[in-house]
């Protein structure tokens, strides 16, 4: 597949969450087909769990044009959760 490269993720439990973001990036930014991104998600050796059927369905059903239009907005706000100090608690 075009643009294939290795990448890091935080842990095995995060494989599916990371996988959906990477698959969406492949489709929206790198112009992969949805089938290519789903194939990498499932068979790329990154730890996809077969029972999360909603993840490939999300990629298959996502509105790519809507994602691209939103990303093209010049004043796209960066929304991050407010930091909460833990102080070792």
Where do the domains of the chain lie?
Answer: 12-71
CATH class of 12-71: alpha beta
First to last CA, the chain: 45
CA dist 67 → 27, 39, 45, 79, 81 (Å): 10, 21, 27, 16, 21
pTM, full prediction: 0.67
Write down the pLDDT at residue 31. Answer: 96
How many CB atoms neighbour CB 32 within 10 A? 20
How high is the mean pLDDT in each 10-residue block of the chain (89 residues)? 52 68 93 95 80 86 92 73 55
Cα maximum dimension of the chain: 45
- Model pLDDT, residue 50: 79
């Amino acid at each position: 597949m075009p643009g294939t490269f290795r990448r890091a993720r935080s842990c095995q439990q995060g494989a599916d969450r990371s996988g959906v973001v990477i698959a969406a990036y492949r489709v929206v930014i790198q112009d992969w087909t949805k089938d290519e991104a789903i194939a990498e998600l499932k068979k790329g050796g990154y730890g996809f769990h077969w029972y999360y059927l909603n993840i490939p369905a999300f990629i298959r059903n996502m509105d790519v044009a809507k994602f691209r239009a939103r990303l093209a907005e010049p004043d796209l706000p960066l929304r991050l959760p407010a930091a909460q100090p833990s102080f070792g608690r």
